[in-house]
A = this chain, B = another copy of it.
Amino acid sequence: MPMVNIKITKTGATAEQKAELIKGATELLQRVLNKNPATTIVIIEEVETDNWGVGGESITVRNAKPKP
């Protein structure tokens, strides 16, 4: 019964894409560690871009910058 927690920025992942993440992560644990897929839990957390920082800046600020 592994637990997979996936954190992504909230930028429009669809229900279909989230279903693929759930399916793919469950299969990964089965393939690599032979974990029973019936009891693998996957939780996806979508985080606002104001609330996710990298390089000392929020993703909101980074995305607003002109691309070089």
Residues of A within 8 A of B (CB): 1-8, 13, 15, 17-29, 31-33, 35, 37-47, 50-58, 60-61
Contact = CB atoms under 8 A, between A and B. Distances in A.
Please list the 3 inter-chain residue pairs (A to B) with the smallest Cβ-Cβ separation, ordered nearest first.
A22-B53, A42-B53, A26-B56
A5 to B, nearest CB: 4
A41 B41 contact: yes
B41 A20 contact: no
A30 to B, nearest CB: 9
Contacts of A21: 28-29, 32-33, 53
8 contacts: A3-B41, A4-B4, A22-B53, A22-B58, A38-B55, A40-B53, A40-B56, A41-B54
